């Protein structure tokens, strides 16, 4: 039963992935008034030879469905086109920048869970108590502050003003990166036994990850609270209490596990949201990741790069949601029977 459910989810995700390529294709090839100009930029479009080569390469003179076929065939070979700005294949650029972003988003995701979930539980257990009010207020602030502004404020305050935070970037200026294994400096530092690098990289992660997590912490806290309030009102919780289970046990063993499904759904969405949020955070923290690459591509109207990143993040989004769907099985085996 569980296997059938997993298979169905995998097939559905794969179908969505193919459909996502169609959306990216349509945006890239039909939305701009002149795709040649959008993809090549002003300078290169002035050269008729380049334009002709570009048209032939992407089959722009052929019917739309054939163009999509060409697009898919190139995609299957990992060809996302060439970045206008860096003049390198978009895939190479992405490969270079992705580890920094994964590192940042993962730390922010970790913060989101370890702060958001307990805070949400506490707010629900002590409903209308001071924790609940403080949590509600903090959440509203977290979701109301624009990420790019919050990033600026904490940087101006802790780095510029108080001088207790390290400079923007992944490491101190002049510090060498640990030997490349994963591209995530903290992990690489630990793997190489290079503790100084690992600590340095971790210190640089603090501000950007907190800023990135600010909004998602608010959302996760609110969802956890709502889900907990729901389960705390159920009959089985009353039964547990009547049996004399201590309140701690009621919350941990009876209420929380049953509140996990909505929390899990949201955690998946939040991680994907974090990946997108890096566009704004990385820009301010000079974080050489996918987000800053996207920002620079947007500024330069570097179309192939923008579309490549969009497609990649959409695929990650789908993968995360698939992982969440499979995780439901563990949390709530009933989903397989639906």
Which positions touch another protein (CB under 8 A)? 16, 19-20, 23-24, 27-28, 31-32, 38, 140-141, 143-149, 152-153, 155-156, 159-160, 272-273, 275-277, 279-280, 283-284, 294-295, 298-299, 301, 303, 306-307, 309-310, 313-314, 317-318, 321
Q: Which one, 83 or 147, has the nearer CB to another protein?
A: 147
Smallest distance, Å, CB 22 to another protein? Answer: 8
Looking at beta carbons only, is 171 or 307 nearer to another protein?
A: 307
DSSP 87: -
Indicate the residue among 198 and 311 with the shorter CB distance to another protein. 311
C-alpha closest to that of 90 among 79, 103, 99, 102:
79
Considering beta carbons, is residue 123 or 306 the nearer one to another protein? 306
Q: In angstroms, what CA-CA distances link 166 with 155, 203, 207? A: 9, 7, 9
Instruction: Give the burial class of 313: count Cβ atoms within 10 A of its Cβ; 0-12 exposed, 13-18 middle, 19 or more buried.
Output: buried
Report the nearest approach of another protein to the CB of residue 20 (Å).
Answer: 6
Instruction: Report in angstroms how near the CB of residue 196 gets to another protein at its nearest.
Output: 27
Tokens coding 222: 């609110």
Nearer to another protein, 166 or 277 (CB): 277
CB of 239 to another protein, least distance (A): 24
**Shortest gap between Cβ of 273 and another protein (angstroms)?**
7
- End-to-end CA separation in angstroms for the chain: 10
Evaluate whether 302 touches 88 at the Cβ level (below 8 Å).
Answer: no
Q: Which is nearer to another protein, 19 or 246 (CB)?
A: 19
Specify whether the backbone of 183 is left (phi greater than 0), alpha (psi in -120 to 50) or beta: left
Least distance from another protein to the Cβ atom of residue 309, Å: 7
Q: Of 303, 293, 271, 311, which Cα lies nearest the Cα of 23?
A: 311
Query: Are the beta carbons of 321 and 13 closer than 8 angstroms?
Result: yes
* Contact predicate 313/275, CB 8 Å: yes
């Amino acid at each position: 039963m569980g296997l059938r459910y997993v298979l169905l989810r995998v097939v559905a995700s794969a179908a969505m992935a193919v459909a996502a390529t169609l959306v990216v294709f349509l945006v890239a090839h039909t939305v701009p008034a002149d795709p040649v100009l959008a993809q090549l930029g002003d300078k290169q479009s002035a050269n008729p030879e380049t334009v002709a080569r570009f048209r032939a390469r992407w089959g722009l003179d052929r019917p739309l469905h054939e163009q999509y076929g060409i697009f898919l065939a190139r995609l299957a070979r990992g060809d996302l086109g060439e970045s206008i700005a860096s003049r390198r294949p978009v895939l190479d650029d992405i490969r270079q920048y992705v580890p920094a972003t994964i590192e940042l988003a993962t730390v922010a995701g970790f913060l989101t869970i370890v702060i958001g979930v307990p805070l949400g539980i506490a707010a629900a257990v002590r409903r209308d108590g001071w924790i609940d009010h403080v949590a509600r207020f903090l959440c509203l602030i977290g979701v109301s502050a624009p990420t790019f502004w919050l990033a600026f404020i904490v940087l101006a305050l802790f780095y510029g003003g108080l001088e207790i935070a390290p400079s923007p970037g992944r490491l101190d200026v002049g510090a060498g990166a640990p030997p490349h294994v994963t591209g995530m400096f903290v992990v690489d530092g630990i793997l190489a036994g290079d503790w100084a690098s690992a600590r340095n990289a971790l210190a640089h992660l603090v501000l950007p990850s907190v800023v990135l997590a600010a909004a998602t912490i608010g959302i996760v806290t609110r969802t956890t609270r709502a889900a907990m309030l729901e389960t705390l009102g159920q009959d089985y919780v009353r039964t547990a209490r009547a049996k004399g289970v201590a309140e701690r046990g009621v919350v941990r063993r009876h209420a929380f596990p049953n509140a996990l499904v909505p929390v899990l759904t949201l955690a998946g969405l939040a991680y994907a949201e974090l990946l997108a949020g890096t566009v704004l955070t990385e820009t301010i923290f000079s974080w050489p990741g996918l987000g800053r690459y996207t920002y620079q591509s947007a500024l330069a109207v570097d179309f192939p790069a923008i579309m490549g990143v969009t497609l990649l993040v959409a695929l990650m989004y789908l993968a995360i949601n698939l992982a969440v769907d499979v995780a439901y099985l563990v949390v709530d085996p009933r989903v397989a029977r639906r």
